[in-house]
Amino acid sequence: MSSPASDLSARVTFAPVTAADFDELVELRIAAMRESLERVGRFDPARARERLRASFYPEHTQFIVLDGEHVGFSTFRPQPDHFRLDHLYVHPRCQSLGIGSHVLRHLLALSDARGLPVQLGALRESASNRFYQRHGFVQSSEDAWDIYYVRAPRAPA
């Protein structure tokens, strides 16, 4: 009998992103973040578009593909002394299936192999804060809207 994680290994793949995919990425981001942004009174589709545009790096972005369908994306950028996880979104209809954890474990394995920490920011009041803490991230700072985290590299298994 196969485990849910092994099932995802066969079902979840990654696909490259180009500049032409920007509008699809915006829609995925809005769908994934809408509830959290509404909770803090910050939902604004125009702002969501602007924020993604300001941190859009197609060369470091990949679609998350489940059974051939784009269900999310991640942006994972190498920096001189760390990796930066700018985006990790899974469409709400595909959340709580283990996809985000599967993707994050893949990205963390890349950083661990290079011996580099990973940094990211998460919106206050978002369930993503608990998600990142479960995966070994610790809070490093915060501001009015976001909490920032870092995860030290682990020795490769």
Is the per-residue pLDDT at 156 higher than 80?
no
Residues 6+ apart with CB under 8 A from 31: 89, 91, 92
Residues 21/105, Cβ–Cβ less than 8 Å: no
Q: pTM of the full predicted structure?
A: 0.89
pLDDT, tens digit, 9 for 90 and up, residues 134-149: 999 999 999 988 899 9
Is the per-residue pLDDT at 3 higher than 70?
no
Residues 6+ apart with CB under 8 A from 76: 60, 62, 83, 84, 85, 86, 107, 110
> What is the arrangement of strands in the sheet containing 12-16, beginning at the earlier edge strand?
12-16, 61-66, 69-78, 83-90, 118-123, 146-151, 138-142
Instruction: Label residue 7 left, alpha or beta by phi (over 0 means left) and psi (-120 to 50 means alpha).
Output: alpha
DSSP output for 76-134: EEE-SSSEEEEEEEE-GGGTTSSHHHHHHHHHHHHHHHHT--EEEEEETT-THHHHHHH
pLDDT, tens digit, 9 for 90 and up, residues 73-110: 999 999 999 999 999 999 999 999 999 999 999 999 99
Residues 27-36: what's their mean pLDDT?
86
Ordered structural domains, the chain, with CATH: 4-151 (3.40.630.30)
Q: Token digits for 69?
A: 């369908």
